[in-house]
Amino acid sequence: MAKQTSKSKKIAQKTIFAAFNILKKEGGSLRGKEIVDKIRETVEFDDYENHRYEKTGYIRWESVFYFYTIDCMKAGFLRKHKGVWSLTEEGEKAIKLGEEKLLETATAKYREWDAKRKKDADNDDIDDEIIEETSQQQKALLEQYQEQAVEGLREFIIGKSPYDFQDMVAILLEAMGYHISFVSPQGKDGGIDILAYTDPLGVKLPRIIVQVKHRPDSSISSDDIQRLAGTMKRSSDVGIFVTSGSFSKPAVYEARSSDKHIELIDFERFIDLWEEHYQKMSDVQKNIMPLQAIYFLGSNE
């Protein structure tokens, strides 16, 4: 007699499969929060699946979903960074397996990777109460907290005006050790928002030309990159394009193939750099976007 699939695994099968298809439809990458929102809109859940845990405040299906995304990551099907989830080539191929076989394959690959998590066949179907007590669930819960933190930073930046965001970029560059010689005031800027140098007087090469776009919900085009390149009149000039959103694939290609040095900083990279150089900022600068560090017990994985 075939073993009955647990409720938790059934939840995982349909939500993981839905997430993979959403990612494929969206070009392979999407913020985790948007994936969860789209699953909520397109997948039907009963009262059991929509139950809210008192301990964490999370919905049952969301907790189960995050739990099994770890299997998918260790299987090489999925990547996550700063709240953005990306479907790998292997993950896209795995969609053809169907929802049951996809999850089964991901879990099997995870168990191969995790030598410490060897369990007998009787424990294959883990119910949701046991899930809450496992180390894998703790990792999944931590990921949810991390994504909430990133979303909080994103909403904070969205609330800033374009000139506020421009000032944040100038503060970051200063904390990184660059010397700011010009920050564009309101009005036409000729395509140059910030000028920076590696020395206080600006006599050493290179001259750094910075273009800043506050477009949190859109992608920078290749035309935008070309316009930045057009402002780089000296052969030694370095360009930096900073956006509160993302870069389109043609924009990335344009920057990489250009005969000029153009660095791209999207929202995720901006947050990484802000965190990395935060302690070098003055108290006044820190207050522009203050951060609070919270430490959790890590692992050696």
The residue type at 41: E
Burial 86-96 (b: 16+ CB within 10 A, else e): ebbeebeebbe
Give the integer Cα–Cα distance in Å for 289 and 273: 13
**DSSP one-letter code for 123:** G
Give the integer Cα–Cα distance in Å for 133 and 141: 11
Give the integer Cα–Cα distance in Å for 24 and 293: 34
Q: Where does the pLDDT of residue 245 fall: very low under 50, low under 70, confident under 90, or very high at 90 and above?
A: very high
Residues in the chain: 301
Mean of the per-residue pLDDT values for the chain? 89
The first and second tokens of residue 292, run together, are 């609070």
CA atoms within 13 A on the CB side of 252: 7
The residue type at 267: F
Distances (CA, A) of 276 to 27, 53, 201: 30, 35, 26
Q: Does position 137 have pLDDT exceeding 90, yes or no?
A: no
- Tally of CB atoms within 10 A around 57: 7
The first and second tokens of residue 11, run together, are 């939840």
Q: Can you give the pLDDT at residue 5? A: 85
**Average pLDDT estimate for 128-134:** 49
Cα–Cα nearest to 245, from 32, 19, 31, 22: 31
Give the integer Cα–Cα distance in Å for 182 and 254: 26
Beta pairing partners, 136: none
Q: Does position 119 have pLDDT exceeding 70, yes or no?
A: no
The first and second tokens of residue 75, run together, are 């299987």
The first and second tokens of residue 274, run together, are 């802000």
The helix (H) or strand (E) run that includes residue 161 is: none
Give the integer Cα–Cα distance in Å for 137 and 117: 13
Task: Considering only residues 149 and 179, tell me which one the structure prediction assigns the higher pLDDT.
Answer: 179
Residue % of the chain over a pLDDT of 70: 89
Residues 6+ apart with CB under 8 A from 149: none
Residue % of the chain over a pLDDT of 90: 75
